[in-house]
Amino acid sequence: MSRLLIISNRLPFSLEKTNDAITVRQSSGGLVSAIKSYFERSGKQSSEFTEKIWVGSMDVAEEIYQEAVALNAFPGDFTVVPIFPEKELYDDYYNGFSNSTLWPLFHYFPSIVEYKKEYFEAYRAVNQAFANSIIQQYKPGDVIWVHDYQLLLLPQMLRDKLPDANIGFFLHIPFPSYEIFRLLPNRWKRAILHGILGADLVGFHTHDYVQHFIQSCKMILKVENQFTNIVYNDRLLKCDLFPIGIDYQKFREAITEETVIAIATKLEEHFYNQKIIFSVDRLDYTKGLEYRLEGYEEFLTKYPEWRSKVVFILNVVPSRDLIKTYSDRRARIEEKVSTINGKFSSLAWQPIIYRELTGAANELSEAIFVNPTDAEEVADGIDTALTMHLIEQRSRLSNMQRRIAEYDVFKWINEFLSCMGDIKNEQDNLRVNVLKEQNIEKIKADFEKAERRCILLDYDGTLSPLQKVPNMAVPTDELILLLEQLTRDEHNEVVIISGRDAQTLDTWLGHLPVSLVAEHGAAIKMKGEEWKDQATMSSEWKDRIRPLMEMFVNRCAGSLMEEKKSTLAWHYRNTHPDLGFSRSRELRNSLLQLTANT
């Protein structure tokens, strides 16, 4: 049994102190609703977790929090671990980098992104504060689940200190295409990808977001992937889609509650003989509220027969009023509502009922899809919905409800946590367990006792790091010193194996008492002897292959051809990953055809 640590920017409630009373209010938002439903249900049933802990920031003084603890004011479904960042630092982290940089960029609004160094530094500092708190709480076996765009750096910060921890990360907003993500300064975008890749499992809402993330990792960090598996820093991790659901049963049962029935009855009486268009959204430029209003205005203009027969109830949840783009948007929406009401209202009818809400908004997919920027398409979509036969309406709603009921919040959470366990098992299966401490000691002892020792060493990528240009992989002074130390022992026979040509190996390593293998075996030079060619074929084949490789060099920017005595090599590690991979497959097929009858 283990503990589950949920990590989010905010704790799932806020505290208010008036006079001597402290009030606890549940926060709004889909994440809070989803996790709390899971905690409540798992609290009533047997759970795989011995304890559930929620780590997040609080916007009240620590003294008020301690008072609430003393009063036992918090719900009992989970343990609370608060973070108390300094106010100005938190403002630059949250209103700054999180919501003035990441939020607009990830939602494809690059024109309003703010690039401020102090915002990023605050973002890093608050992420580190979260990491420090979690590390103090952590116990071996804990499952850590980090949520959303405010904490993109956190997984790797945790990985640095807790290398064996089981860490999951879920992004609740879109991950943009590489062309958009690359607009971030190089240091920032590398830090963000590095941070996310500290997780064992990275979750997104859609397949597109998964592909966007993998593409950015390939382009910026040059990582390798196989489908949704990524190898980074010699560690396997997985990216996958986990579309979040709602607590369907909770909403389904709510229609029988007296308060809900009373509100529904009141609406029916108030808007008797009128069709109701109902909308609930946060006040955010990504929600297309202005486009929605323009579409509704076009609907009333294009279909005047609906005037006095339909009402648009627009419920807006205030959001991030301290950010100027949000407060400006709010003013424009209120102005647009006033304009439409002034244009179409009568004494008995008001086309738009505008309200501000303080509760959570759970968005469900609409049955009729429209482009919100196309006012006429929105108008036609409204008319289609209002004139749709009741049988078709019920059929569409029934299908949507069935999908929502099947993939509810509990399935979302259980699938994610199950996948976290699977990827950990896969990592364990891939981990090399041979060199444990006792194995290392045995190898040392056997090495010391051996009369003769043959030490086979690969050059590129082992003795010397891979280089963009092969000829830059010159051995360092440290490497030469290490090889000299190995060869001083008369019991050691050192063999260096490389894809390099004989002349290059002679220049770099020929002065050492070692055996050399060039071009992966095409030529061999035993210690103290001369080079001997192992390949006896003529080099005429090169004349047929060289033009083909040169053509692929021209077709793939960043690639190069390396010619040696017995081999030709086409290098594409410096190319665009997708293009390089595609061209390598084309070249392989062309070579197979060209040499089929040779």
Each residue's pLDDT expressed in tens, for the chain with a length of 598 residues: 689 999 999 988 877 777 777 777 777 667 777 787 777 776 655 567 888 899 999 877 787 777 777 666 666 678 889 999 999 999 999 999 999 999 999 988 888 899 999 999 999 999 999 999 999 999 999 999 999 999 999 999 999 999 999 999 999 999 999 999 999 999 999 999 999 999 999 999 888 899 999 999 988 998 888 888 998 988 999 999 998 878 888 888 888 999 999 988 988 888 888 888 888 777 766 677 788 888 888 989 999 998 988 888 887 776 655 556 656 666 676 676 667 777 666 555 666 655 443 332 333 443 466 666 678 887 888 888 888 888 888 887 887 788 778 778 888 899 999 999 999 888 887 775 556 677 788 888 888 888 899 999 999 888 988 787 777 889 999 999 999 999 999 999 999 999 888 999 999 999 999 999 998 888 999 998 999 988 766 778 888 899 999 999 888 888 899 888 888 999 988 888 778 877 888 898 888 888 876 6
Q: Which residues contact 483 (CB under 8 A, 6 or more apart)?
A: 494, 509, 512, 514
CA proximity to 297, closest of 347, 333, 348: 333
What is the chain's length? Answer: 598
Looking at residue 322, its pLDDT comes to 55
CATH fold match for the domains 2-84+140-241 and 444-533: yes
- DSSP state for residue 97 in the 8-state scheme: I
Looking at residue 147, its pLDDT comes to 97
The dihedrals phi and psi of 257, each to the nearest 5 degrees, come to -75, 145
Looking at residue 45, its pLDDT comes to 57
- C-alpha 202/C-alpha 171 separation (Å) is 8
Question: Is the Cα torsion angle 237, 241, 247, 248 positive or negative in sign?
Answer: negative
Q: Under CATH, which number does the domain 2-84+140-241 receive?
A: 3.40.50.2000
- C-alpha 147/C-alpha 149 separation (Å) is 7
CA proximity to 155, closest of 209, 117, 187, 202: 202
Please say if 506 is a catalytic residue. no
Domain ranges across the chain: 2-84+140-241, 250-406, 444-533, 540-594
Question: What is the residue whose two structure tokens read 């997985």?
Answer: 238
Q: Is 256 in contact with 338 (CB distance < 8 Å)?
A: no
528-533-534 Cα angle (round to 5): 115
Looking at residue 279, its pLDDT comes to 81
| Top-level class of domain 444-533 | alpha beta
Looking at residue 116, its pLDDT comes to 97
Q: Is 242 in contact with 415 (CB distance < 8 Å)?
A: yes
- C-alpha 201/C-alpha 242 separation (Å) is 11
- Using the CB atoms, write b or e for 188-198: b if 16+ within 10 Å: bbebbbbbbbb
The residue from 458, 460, 506, 533 that is catalytic is 458
Looking at residue 329, its pLDDT comes to 62
One of 3.40.50.2000, 3.40.50.1260, 3.40.109.10, 1.10.3720.10 is the CATH number of 250-406, namely 3.40.50.2000
Question: Is the Cα torsion angle 451, 456, 462, 467 positive or negative in sign?
Answer: positive
Question: How many C-beta atoms surround the C-beta of residue 42 within 10 A?
Answer: 19
Looking at residue 226, its pLDDT comes to 84
Q: Is 412 in contact with 242 (CB distance < 8 Å)?
A: yes
Tell me the two tokens of residue 182: 């690359």
